[in-house]
Amino acid sequence: MGLFDMLMGMGVGVDINAKVDEARQDDNAILLDVRTREEYNAGHIEGAVCIPLDQISKAARLYGNKSLYVYCASGSRSAQAVSMLKQAGVQQVENIGGIGGYRGTVVRG
């Protein structure tokens, strides 16, 4: 794996805003926030489901047949989550990076 592949796997170079729009156009898509519950409550993308990284197997069971758009704070945890979900057999899963790059309204609570 080259540096470019590694960075893309971490969501670097991915426009989270475009990916959120893409997910919202897909009735089969789930926006998946893999940060902690506390981070999620401090501010998340509207409509996102919170399943922290340490509970990611739950996402595979609940949403394994959906298109998963995964984000976290910076793209690192979401890259780990995508790798774990792929190992669990989830076919449609993508790291869309970190919420820090999101320009839309965030929901608190």
Residues serving a catalytic function are: 72
Query: In 10-102, which ranges are continuous DSSP H helix?
Result: 16-24, 37-42, 56-63, 76-87
Alpha-carbon span 53 to 30, nearest angstrom? 15
Helix axes 76-87, 56-63, angle to 10 degrees: 50
